Structure 1
Amino acid sequence: MKTSKMCAIFSNQHEYSQLKPLTDERALSTLAFAGKYRLMDFPLSSIVNSGITQLYTLISQEKVRSYLDHWGGGKEWGLDTIGSYQYLDFYQNLMARRSRGEDYFDDLILFLKTCNVPYVVFIGNKMAANFDLKAVLHFHQSNENNITPVFKRVDHRDLAPDDHIFVLDDDNVVVGSHEAIEVNNEGSFNLSANVYVMNTDWLIHELDKAQRSGASYDVSERLATLAVREKANAYEYTGYLRNIHDITSYYQANMDMLQKDKRDSLLYGNQKIITRIRNEVGTYYDKDSEVKNTLIATGGKVKGKVHNCVVSRRVTIGKDTEVESSVLMAGDHIKSGAKVEYAILDKNVVVEKGVTIKGKPETPVVIKKGAVVDKDFILD
């Protein structure tokens, strides 16, 4: 019987200016999602649900605090136990070593050798999805691949310019790859989910060869190229997936969670989504409050109307307020008489009495962290 032992590389490389100001002080991975989660919870949960306890994480040193604040010691994910192995590295280190002509993948190669397991999974940070990595590994073993990429068939509107698009033959063998920025027509495309299962010895060899030739330090880019070279059999992911790369995609992903079928597919399937535990009291609902089709986390107070919203922890919504089709992050305070519609409010935003904030479904208003809004903000 073939072993199912894997280690993991968790890449937090993707950052997009189109997500500012939400990512001014935090990494994309740590954006709040569906009230109580962070985006990083999804790849991490996919990793630990497959039994992986050895994790190499690549992050940007510029936004390390937001990552570590949520990660803690990895207790909730079971990665602080005996036998687990964590290695934290920075993309800036890889860049600096490459610029100096040094072997920039040596730390990653050392990690893979230390783990001493036959398979490794690479997973990115921007897909809100729930991957069954054991199923991908079984597919990988059955096809006797060196590398198995995961893809999802998506509409052209769900692509970011730097996404990789796979060209597949009738048997889902990868015969080509290009960046989404090259797409100039409508329709659906084979989006790389930025998830790859590989043979560890093969990956070590390819990383060593890449650094000796001075290839890009971008591991994801390298793996997409190798999937084409190897004519790899691609695994099709058919569950819920939202590609987070701008304000609209982030907003829509949260709104998706108000639809039961999408929420169940992502959050309540066979694989549990794990997040950091917060011990708080439940949210208080005043007798005059009106809450419909809304996800609300703990520790808040609701006295007004809240319809079709995603509300994080410790949010206060005052009397005679109307909040609709919006995403509210932790610690927001909507004072009496205020109206908020089609908006994303970052943490600790205060909306003063009687103020109106109104965006549009395709262009929600974004209020930056800690702002005090004392004047109407209405998009034309």
Structure 2
Amino acid sequence: MKKSMLGVIDATMLPGEMGELAIHRSPAAIPFAGRYRLVDFVLSNMVNSGIQSVAIFPCSPYRSLIDHLGSGKDWDLNRKRDGLFFFPAQIKEDQLSRMAENIDYFERSEQKFVLISSCTTVANIDFVPALERFINQKCDLLEITHKGESTCTYILSLHLLMDLIKNRNETGYTSVQDAVNDQHSSFTICQYEYNGFLQRIRSIKDYYKTSMELLEKDKWSQLFNEFQPIFTKVKDEPPTKYTSNSSVTNSMIANGCNIEGEVNHSIVFRAVHIGKGSTVQNCIVMQKTKIGSNCVLEHVIFDKDVIVEDGAVLRGTPEQPLVVKKGSVESVVASS
């Protein structure tokens, strides 16, 4: 049962929808939760559900995504048979047309069923019960829902997917979602309701809100557990150093940091430096950012490699967090 599914990750979300965070990377590669990328969640869910062949359809810019995933080794997908496959696509092409350009991948696949998902759903789902429902209820298409709403995750037979790809011009379908939403089709549509923690990241506001929710113990424990681990690219970093002047409350701090200031209700990624006398509150601070001394930072998302000079004051709001772009230098007083 477990090895009978093929995984397809549609990573063609338009970069513009994630603002500054997606200028230099695919939305699938946006850093999340201290040490992960958004794609890690759906990819880990697939692997934990026994899927051994995964096709990723990314849009440009995808260098960061390919660098992160590599051969798929950290997800046990560097295999002689099956494994991890990349099929870069043009943004203007629709889902079924992108698949049609790589139809030989599907023709060579030996799996009977296909799981198709977006790249930015944050959850920890076992897809096996959904497949069992699909088979037992003799569905043509199964849609995974959460709180009654679609998660844009679908299960169907490989045979039906091939038909949808080949007949797309006649049906007018551009995606599997079109087939699910067509009330006049002859397909048997089923739903599988997932009741655990799940968030879809479709905007900066979604990204910030979901990140802050993970600082709540119950939501964190629903997403991360020892039985269904979330895998990511392994990086060896030394432990974080906390000086006698530092203070950290209700925050997530990754390895390799140097904390001299105050951090409250924030997420700090690897190799970040926070200077003496600085206050970081309700912020997301990505890799290798350097924050000087006596800074005041509230409701800010710092992309990678940012430098915040001494005494800077940066403020956003929960509804509109301030986003500081990758590699920038902040030295002026700024607020929302």
- Taking structure 1 as the reference length, the TM-score comes to 0.83
> Are the equivalent residues in 1 in contact too, given 2:72–2:83 (CA < 8 A)?
no
Identity %: 28
Any residues of structure 2 matched to 1:271-290 within 5 Å, and which? Answer: 271-290=228-247
1:80 to 78, 81, 84: 78
Structure 1 residues not aligned, in runs of 5+: 154-189
**1:104, 1:321 → 2: CA distance?**
48
Q: How many residues align?
A: 336
Any residues of structure 2 matched to 1:37-48 within 5 Å, and which? Answer: 37-48=36-47
1:260 to 206, 217, 237: 217
Say whether residues 1:194 and 2:143 are aligned partners.
Answer: no
> Are the equivalent residues in 1 in contact too, given 2:46–2:127 (CA < 8 A)?
yes
Any residues of structure 2 matched to 1:21-36 within 5 Å, and which? Answer: 21-36=20-35
Any residues of structure 2 matched to 1:156-195 within 5 Å, and which? Answer: 190-195=148-153
Structure 1 residues 93 and 18, CA gap change in structure 2 (3 angstroms)? closer
**1:227, 1:297 → 2: CA distance?**
51
**1:346, 1:332 → 2: CA distance?**
8
**1:118, 1:141 → 2: CA distance?**
11
Structure 1 residues 261 and 194, CA gap change in structure 2 (3 angstroms)? same
> Are the equivalent residues in 2 in contact too, given 1:4–1:134 (CA < 8 A)?
no
Quote the residue 1:299 is aligned against: 256
Quote the residue 2:103 is aligned against: 109
State the superposition RMSD in angstroms: 2.3
Offset, 1:270: 3.2
What is the CA deviation profile of residues 73-128 of structure 1, one whole-angstrom value per residue up to 9, with x for unaligned ones? 110001102322443223329839x9xxxx86444432222111111111111211
> Secondary structure, in 3 states, of the residue corresponding to 1:90?
coil
Structure 1 residues 260 and 227, CA gap change in structure 2 (3 angstroms)? farther
> Secondary structure, in 3 states, of the residue corresponding to 1:63?
coil
Quote the residue 1:176 is aligned against: none
Structure 2 residues not aligned, in runs of 5+: none
**1:108, 1:215 → 2: CA distance?**
19
Quote the residue 1:215 is aligned against: 172
Say whether residues 1:312 and 2:269 are aligned partners.
Answer: yes
> Are the equivalent residues in 1 in contact too, given 2:3–2:52 (CA < 8 A)?
no
- Tell me which amino acid in the other structure corresponds to 2:154: Y
Offset, 1:273: 0.6
What is the CA deviation profile of residues 172-191 of structure 1, one whole-angstrom value per residue up to 9, with x for unaligned ones? xxxxxxxxxxxxxxxxxx32
> Secondary structure, in 3 states, of the residue corresponding to 2:220?
helix
Offset, 1:17: 2.6
> Are the equivalent residues in 2 in contact too, given 1:87–1:111 (CA < 8 A)?
no
**2:171, 2:190 → 1: CA distance?**
28
> Secondary structure, in 3 states, of the residue corresponding to 1:55?
strand
Say whether residues 1:69 and 2:67 are aligned partners.
Answer: yes
> Are the equivalent residues in 2 in contact too, given 1:148–1:227 (CA < 8 A)?
no
> Secondary structure, in 3 states, of the residue corresponding to 2:288?
coil
What is the CA deviation profile of residues 268-304 of structure 1, one whole-angstrom value per residue up to 9, with x for unaligned ones? 2631111110011011111121001010111110011
**2:214, 2:267 → 1: CA distance?**
8
Structure 1 residues 193 and 126, CA gap change in structure 2 (3 angstroms)? same
Quote the residue 2:4 is aligned against: 5
Worse overlay, 48-57 or 323-332? 48-57
Worse overlay, 219-228 or 260-269? 219-228
2:122 to 102, 121, 128: 128
